[in-house]
Chain A
Amino acid sequence: EAGVTQFPSHSVIEKGQTVTLRCDPISGHDNLYWYRRVMGKEIKFLLHFVKESKQDESGMPNNRFLAERTGGTYSTLKVQPAELEDSGVYFCASSYRRGQGRVGEFFGPGTRLTVL
């Protein structure tokens, strides 16, 4: 079974440009999460989808970030326009529910974004 995949693995862009990151969760996982790790800091939650619905977007830094999950399958995270402080590693994770509990939290390899 394929794991969580993310594309691209690396992205280097200039300040002011737009970048779109993609995440393909594990097939059948309704829950999809985006996290970000800025250099030397902790991994921080950005948002959570249940299928195509945004369940919690309390971690989104500002309105330059837009996440979508059309059809409840893959998700995209767009940064427009990118700023220097957006540099970091963006992780996607997925999980499924069994009864009342969430089972598994499988992370993708991350996209390393560098904004120059």
Chain B
Amino acid sequence: GQQLNQSPQSMFIQEGEDVSMNCTSSSIFNTWLWYKQDPGEGPVLLIALYKAGELTSNGRLTAQFGITRKDSFLNISASIPSDVGIYFCAGQKGGSEKLVFGKGTKLTVNP
């Protein structure tokens, strides 16, 4: 089945550091999405990317839709303790409503 390879699986960083995570796929997606999940909550949409090459920012978050349409990355600058959580990438193919998710990157920020 379709798979998104998300890395790294987990990250332990110091407050103030920048973070980068990415997702790759063997197939093309029309939309890339990045979600964050806090404990006991559902995933919350952070950034949506709709066009190859698109670079979008949301505060300290920046995400890009790869030119090949097979990858995307998410950067978090100047991390703070509330950035802790699990970050998921998700892709959507043309003609399909369903999202294909990566396995998540668990982020821990040490104050």
Contacts and interface: CB of A to CB of B under 8 A. Distances in A.
Judged by DSSP, the binding face of A is strand
B42 A4 contact: yes
Contacts of A41: 103
Interface stretch (A65-73, A76-84, A103-111): A103-111
Contacts of A108: 42
A105 B96 CA distance: 14
B42 A56 contact: no
Interface residues of A, number: 25
Interface in A21-47: 31, 33, 35, 40-45
A56 B98 contact: yes
B41 A59 contact: no
Contact of B43 (A31, A43, A48, A102): A43
Nearest to A104: B45
Nearest to A91: B42
Interface residues of B, number: 20
A29 B96 CA distance: 18
A20 interface: no
B6 to A, nearest CB: 8
A42 B104 contact: yes
A44 B42 contact: no
A110 B86 CA distance: 15
Contacts of B41: 109-110
A113 interface: no
A91 B101 CA distance: 13
B102 interface: yes
A59 B104 contact: no
Contacts of A48: 97-98
B99 interface: yes
A18 B88 CA distance: 31
A109 B97 contact: no
Given A42-B103, A43-B88, A105-B33, A33 B43 contact: no
Nearest to B50: A101
Interface of B: 4, 33, 35, 40-45, 88, 90, 96-104
